[in-house]
Amino acid sequence: DIQMTQSPSSVSASVGDRVTITCRASQGFGTWLAWYQQKPGKAPKLLIYGASSLQSGVPSRFSGSGSGTDFTLTISSLQPEDFATYYCQQTNSFPITFGQGTRLEIK
């Protein structure tokens, strides 16, 4: 199985801040990497696919980069609605696996 490790596990930030979340894979797989946002009591929402492609309807302040084993999700200017938990996911090989999540909290 490909292990996905996110860092940090939690981060505190303020509205307007730039935040970067990292996801590292135990083995490389190109750009078969997605990012999701999950708010309490809700299903995850797709933000980024193919490591860097923005899902339709997602604000442009979200961006993704990376390939192989190292990936990042960046939020350029935090908005109040961005405080949530974020997960990376590899879809390159079975079983599909997710990172453990990064909780983004208000400072």
Partner 1 sequence: QVQLQESGPGLVKPSQTLSLTCTVSGASINSGSYDWDWIRQPAGKGLEWIGRIYNVGSTNSNPSLKSRVTISVDTSKNQFSLRLRSVTAADTAVYYCVRVQPGAFDAFDIWGQGTMVTVSS
**Can you read off the two tokens belonging to residue 105?**
């909290």
Task: Read off the amino acid at residue 27.
Answer: Q
Residues numbered 51-70 forming contacts with partner 1, rule: CB under 8 A: 53, 55
Instruction: Please state the closest distance from residue 43 (CB atom) to partner 1, in A.
Output: 4
Least gap, CB of 15 to partner 1 (angstroms): 26
Specify the residue, 16 or 43, whose C-beta has the smaller distance to partner 1.
Answer: 43
Give the number of other CB atoms < 10 A from CB of residue 11: 16
Residue 97: C-alpha distances to residues 20, 40, 57, 71, 94 (Å): 21, 21, 25, 15, 8
- Residues found near partner 1 in the complex (CB under 8 A): 31-34, 36, 42-46, 49-50, 53, 55, 87, 89, 91, 94-101
